[in-house]
Structure 1
Amino acid sequence: MPGVGAFPMRPVGDRACIIDLPDLDRVLGVAARLRELGLAGVVDVVPAARTVLVVCADRAAVRGVAEAVAGLDEPLAARAAAGAEVTIDVVYDGDDLAAVGELTGLGRDGVIAAHTGTPWRAAFGGFAPGFAYLAGGDARLGVPRLDSPRAAVPAGAVALAAGFSAVYPGESPGGWRLIGRTGERMWDETRDRPARVAPGDTVRFRAVREAVVLAPVVRTGAPRRDPRPSEPALTVLDPGMLTLVQDAGRPGHAALGVTESGALDRDALRRANLAVGNPPQAPGLENLNGGLALRARSALRVAVTGADAEIRVEPAGAGAVRSPRTGSAIELAAGETLRLGAPRRGLRCYVAVGGGIEDRRGVLGSAAHDSLSGLGAPPLAAGAHLAVGPPPQRPADPEHAAPAQPPVARRAVLRFVPGPRDDWFTPEARTAFAERTWRVTPRSNRIGLRLDGDPLARSRTGELATEGVIRGSVQVPPNGLPVLFLADHPVTGGYPVIGTVIDADLDRAAQVPPGAELRFEPVDPDDPGEPLGFDAPVPETVAFTIEIDGRRHRITVPGDLAAAFDRLTAAGDRAKLAELLVELVGKAARRTGRMMPRVSE
């Protein structure tokens, strides 16, 4: 795919591509042209500083984009966008205003005059909902980012970096240089147009001397007024570690800084919905690591899919506890309680209710909770009441309840397409990425799986210009440890992506627990082959035979201990292996009543 037509083009997994362009004018021109073409299967067009990311529904649509790009003529400059005219009042008292004055040689008053004296163009969104990259201002204001980002930048902060200006829509970490503040609310989902500034708008900053009061941030997911409140159908007795309302998410809004979000294991949500007769993408519940308890307030049909967890239905009074199987339609009577235990395999369970979870706090057509931005319904809390929609008209479909493959246990192999920025890494690092085994850290979440192992070395220094990323992108920050982006990832990033996991394996990635091992297998996006190995679960106990004083004895040890033995053997870690052997032999010696023999190398 590289070198398609006049513009270099790189694959991003099997359902996206990125187009490299020489400047922002051509970025905006190509993005506008692709939107005008209305190509079949194109889900999102994401312009950035020097690239356009095109996200597609399938591989055929990616090939259609390649054909369209090959037909574009060079040069292709940006067309004037018919955007809104936006004026933003700013008090110029930012922490970095004096430093920017020194870096530019303009002084404090000169920076203010330059910032307000030239109109800015909203080029593209990113980072967070309502965060717009403003270009085309005074060229003298092209200052670099801070060497070390701030842990928290306040909402309403007006900032400069790398030739762009922006207003932070909410408090967040950030490395831009702060020159002022505004009381404008940059994102408000209750407005018809949630973003105060959208791509294509013209923005003028106006200096004001009086203090501004920052507009209060609207709590994301605040209820909208509705004259027809629904009767609660479920009461949350215990939300467990984390339970969220999830559906198909918000595809197609990355240009506003809004990521897709939605269920991490999309197939599990689909199967749960089909089992109760719902449309495949109806809103359901995503539960992390069990512990969820729901009490029915009326007769309901539910189904649980995803991780392999114990399911219990407890009666309202006297009666037997039921243990239905995963994926089956479960009839709940009023007063009965549904409980989920800790998963034996996998990490996340999905609960569908006939009629779908009804939540009137949806944003951009979705109730899905986005953990990065806070959009959508908030996490469930004990005592909360859940409403459901009208009973489904379609029949339940138990044939599709069982998963195509069981959830991940301790080890998984994920297929990936190299790039788009694998050329930022040494040949040894590119080889090591695919050959090493990576461990999933407890810092992983819905934004991404953070991996631990030997760091990957870069072949290039400096900053990568901000560009679009997708679910499945494996980004490598300066510490060299990969992060596999999941559903709540930022829509743009400034670290190189060494590879992109193909779409078919992302549901499985959602079920990989902390401590599990991951390996990545490179594939051709046009011929990825069949899903690769997912190891059997670690059993509760494993039997060994060990020779002691010339006699062999059978002992039984916990499965996790035996798995550790296997890992150390494969890794050749002789010191730790000897420690573990001492423990195993000690167990055998205690069983036989003999003195523990010496274990030598």
Structure 2
Amino acid sequence: METAMETVAARQAAVHKVNAVRAVGTRAVLAELTGTEGVLALQALLLEHPLPGQLDVLAAAETVMVTADSPVAARRIAAQLLQLDLTAPVQRDGGLVVIDTVYDGADLAEVAELTGLGIEGVIAAHCRQQWTVAFAGFAPGFGYLVGENEVLNVPRRSSPRTAVPAGAVALAGTYSAVYPRRSPGGWQLIGHTAARMWDLDREQPALAAPGHRIQFRAVRETVALAPEPQPETPAPEVTSGLRIVSPGLQSLIQDLGRHGHSGLGVSAAGALDRASLRRANRLVGNAPGAAGIETVAIETAAGRLTVQAVGDQVLAVAGAPSELAITTPGRPDAEPDRRTVPMATPFALLDGETLSIGAPESGFRSYLAVRGGVDAAPVLGSRSTDTMSGIGPAPLTARQLLATGGDSESGVVGHPELQPEFPGTGVTVLDVVPGPRADWFDAEALESLTAQEWLVKPQSNRVGMRLDGTPLQRTRDGELASEGTVAGALQIPPEGLPVLFLADHPITGGYPVIAVVVDSQLDLAAQVPIGGTIRFRWADSGTTGPATSDRTPAEKAPDEEVSN
């Protein structure tokens, strides 16, 4: 009996222990553990007792990702994680949530074949067991559900869908989940539900938070309850701000992002080219993180952002160099006056005048700042639009009025500034460090990553840049348990074509990350246009600036992974 107790104790000790720590780019580390209980124990400890320099903590299937405020802090945290005591028990006692589900998913027949259960058997297996939300991730309201058995263990799709409908009920590996909104995804779809998994109007936005128990109930059709009527609140009159004449291709309100909410499944979002937003804000006398407008302009007039001043305004535009044309209304019998103003320079836009941002000469995104900042309702501390989760202001529309806020911090405007060169038709070189799963690829694949030029595909967006080239082959088969990701991560789906994550990326992913673009070059990456080309170059581990070495990961010092 004593020997058996010692064996149980040994197993518990193995669970509550950080087995290894891997670098994720330059400012994050990934702690590997054995079992969900160990993951939750580490997450609870770090949330209660943050380590110096710790910014955020994200639990996943077998890992905990810790984001730091600097590369130095990230390396220090990596060493400290291996010394932590994780023996304290984790208490999880959530309520029961019943989710009515119509089993009509596009992959139901394939899942039936993969499991050998048949369609009716899959439905029965999914409904007749109780699921528990182990952790949140991927998107707000997306909970990874652990079942009571593993009869529904199926692989992800070899190529993720660019769009999965909201309410889709899905399987991947040993997990189930419900997609809270339309988003990309690689899980197997078996049905759909009308349940609202994420609602910011609720006191607890997530319908099912970690610790909750889930019971799926098969129904023939789902009925969405009509929302309770809300009293109409008249929109406040805008006496100073900007009227959107034409919103362009996709113009969004962005600040520097909402950080520290990954535990809710919320990514940082924010301006893709942070330096350009800061520059535009600096020029008009705003705080660096004041909300402005991010826009992508194209050749046609309808694709250009055009705004009209409501009251006299001070503006500046930074980012992709474009023609900035101001039109002053003339008398009814006269032509309007037209003049141009330079980029990265503060200028006045008087009441009734309009500003139009032309197609960029190079680069891809421009940033418009107005003195005082754009006054939009903050969500989780930020005014940024997150295109993947739907959090934050909606994309701009014609005739919309944007009020100016109180985010100016200087009584004077800035001097005109020089801008960096922006990517054009040539090749843009981005420095990368080895990713946490570079060991899923051999030397030939690692060399191929940096030896070839990658084409930016039209399917790219703020979530990620989809790249085309010679596919990279893995050396490992099987599935990778979902784990935390960062902006700049180069994820490799089974088809072998990289996806470079940008600001609106899912916070967790299940495809191996071969490399990560250094943080200081994410602004440059965001300016590579559709149809542009990228070449990756190995940088020294821990660097945040230009590459100082062309060595491959195999030639570097072995400091990318720390193990007990």
- TM-score band w.r.t. shorter chain: 0.7 to 0.9
**Equivalent in the alignment of 1:547:** none
Alignment map for 1:286-301 (pairs within 5 Å): 286-289=294-297, 291-301=304-314
- Report the CA distance shift for 1:223/1:407 in structure 2 as closer, same or farther (over 3 A): farther
Partner letter of residue 332 of structure 1?
Answer: L
Task: State whether structure 2 residue 384 is matched by structure 1 residue 333.
Answer: no
- Counterpart pick for 1:9 among 5, 17, 21: 21
CA contact (8 A) 1:13 1:499 kept: yes
Alignment map for 1:365-444 (pairs within 5 Å): 365-390=381-406, 392-399=408-415, 401-403=417-419, 405-409=420-424, 410-444=426-460
CA contact (8 A) 2:345 2:415 kept: no
* SS of equivalent to 1:255: helix
Alignment map for 1:126-205 (pairs within 5 Å): 126-135=137-146, 137-145=147-155, 154-172=165-183, 176=187, 182-199=193-210, 201-205=211-215
CA contact (8 A) 1:237 1:382 kept: yes
CA distance in 2: counterparts of 1:65 and 1:224, whole angstroms:
50
CA distance in 1: counterparts of 2:162 and 2:407, whole angstroms:
47
TM-score (norm 1): 0.78
| Alpha-carbon shift at residue 298 of structure 1 (Å) | 0.9
Deviates more, 1:272-281 or 1:459-468: 459-468
| Alpha-carbon shift at residue 499 of structure 1 (Å) | 0.4
CA distance in 2: counterparts of 1:341 and 1:471, whole angstroms:
28
Partner letter of residue 214 of structure 1?
Answer: A
CA distance in 2: counterparts of 1:438 and 1:179, whole angstroms:
34
Partner letter of residue 70 of structure 1?
Answer: L
**Equivalent in the alignment of 1:90:** 100
* SS of equivalent to 1:309: coil
Alignment map for 1:345-364 (pairs within 5 Å): 345-360=362-377, 362-364=378-380
CA contact (8 A) 1:129 1:187 kept: yes
* SS of equivalent to 1:509: helix
Question: Deviations for 1:391-427, whole angstroms, at most 9, x for unmatched residues?
Answer: 7352345258433x22223322111111211111121
| Alpha-carbon shift at residue 468 of structure 1 (Å) | 1.4
* Structure whose CA Rg is larger: 1
- Counterpart pick for 1:263 among 267, 271, 283: 271
CA distance in 2: counterparts of 1:516 and 1:208, whole angstroms:
47
| Alpha-carbon shift at residue 178 of structure 1 (Å) | 5.6
* SS of equivalent to 2:465: strand
- Report the CA distance shift for 1:216/1:56 in structure 2 as closer, same or farther (over 3 A): farther
- Report the CA distance shift for 1:494/1:134 in structure 2 as closer, same or farther (over 3 A): same
- Report the CA distance shift for 1:491/1:298 in structure 2 as closer, same or farther (over 3 A): same
Alignment map for 1:578-593 (pairs within 5 Å): none
| Alpha-carbon shift at residue 276 of structure 1 (Å) | 0.9
Task: State whether structure 2 residue 65 is matched by structure 1 residue 59.
Answer: no
* SS of equivalent to 1:63: helix
Deviates more, 1:325-334 or 1:499-508: 325-334
| Alpha-carbon shift at residue 215 of structure 1 (Å) | 4.5
**Equivalent in the alignment of 1:322:** 339
CA contact (8 A) 1:127 1:257 kept: yes
- Report the CA distance shift for 1:509/1:154 in structure 2 as closer, same or farther (over 3 A): closer
Partner letter of residue 293 of structure 2?
Answer: L
Question: Deviations for 1:57-105, whole angstroms, at most 9, x for unmatched residues?
Answer: 21132123213202124x65761146x4242243564557898788778
| Alpha-carbon shift at residue 515 of structure 1 (Å) | 2.9
Question: Deviations for 1:246-288, whole angstroms, at most 9, x for unmatched residues?
Answer: 1122222222222211100011111111111111111100010
TM-score (norm 2): 0.83
Deviates more, 1:405-414 or 1:146-155: 146-155
CA contact (8 A) 2:103 2:218 kept: no
| Alpha-carbon shift at residue 210 of structure 1 (Å) | 8.2
Question: Deviations for 1:174-201, whole angstroms, at most 9, x for unmatched residues?
Answer: 55556665442111122232111122x3
Partner letter of residue 280 of structure 1?
Answer: P
- Report the CA distance shift for 1:354/1:423 in structure 2 as closer, same or farther (over 3 A): same
Question: Deviations for 1:310-366, whole angstroms, at most 9, x for unmatched residues?
Answer: 112222226753322211111111111111111112111100001111122x43222
Deviates more, 1:150-159 or 1:34-43: 150-159
Alignment map for 1:20-35 (pairs within 5 Å): 20-35=32-47
CA distance in 1: counterparts of 2:258 and 2:227, whole angstroms:
21
CA contact (8 A) 1:347 1:510 kept: yes
| Alpha-carbon shift at residue 7 of structure 1 (Å) | 2.1
**Equivalent in the alignment of 1:281:** 289
**Pairwise CA RMSD:** 3.3
* SS of equivalent to 1:369: coil
Structure 1 stretches of 5 or more lacking a match? Answer: 534-601
CA contact (8 A) 1:311 1:338 kept: yes
CA contact (8 A) 1:274 1:401 kept: no
* SS of equivalent to 1:28: helix
What count of residue pairs does the alignment treat as equivalent? Answer: 520
Deviates more, 1:190-199 or 1:520-529: 520-529
* SS of equivalent to 2:40: helix
**Equivalent in the alignment of 1:251:** 259
CA distance in 1: counterparts of 2:376 and 2:459, whole angstroms:
29
- Counterpart pick for 1:50 among 62, 87, 109: 62
Task: State whether structure 2 residue 475 is matched by structure 1 residue 467.
Answer: no
**Equivalent in the alignment of 2:528:** 512
CA contact (8 A) 2:287 2:407 kept: no
Partner letter of residue 198 of structure 2?
Answer: W
- Report the CA distance shift for 1:426/1:154 in structure 2 as closer, same or farther (over 3 A): same
Structure 2 stretches of 5 or more lacking a match? Answer: 1-16, 299-303, 550-564
**Equivalent in the alignment of 1:302:** 315
- Report the CA distance shift for 1:173/1:350 in structure 2 as closer, same or farther (over 3 A): closer
Deviates more, 1:271-280 or 1:286-295: 286-295
CA contact (8 A) 2:156 2:173 kept: no
| Alpha-carbon shift at residue 239 of structure 1 (Å) | 1.9
| Alpha-carbon shift at residue 120 of structure 1 (Å) | 3.4
The structure showing larger relative contact order (alpha-carbon pairs under 8 Å, at least 6 residues apart) is: 2
Partner letter of residue 538 of structure 2?
Answer: P
CA contact (8 A) 2:102 2:220 kept: no
CA contact (8 A) 1:232 1:385 kept: no
CA distance in 1: counterparts of 2:352 and 2:413, whole angstroms:
26
**Equivalent in the alignment of 1:557:** none
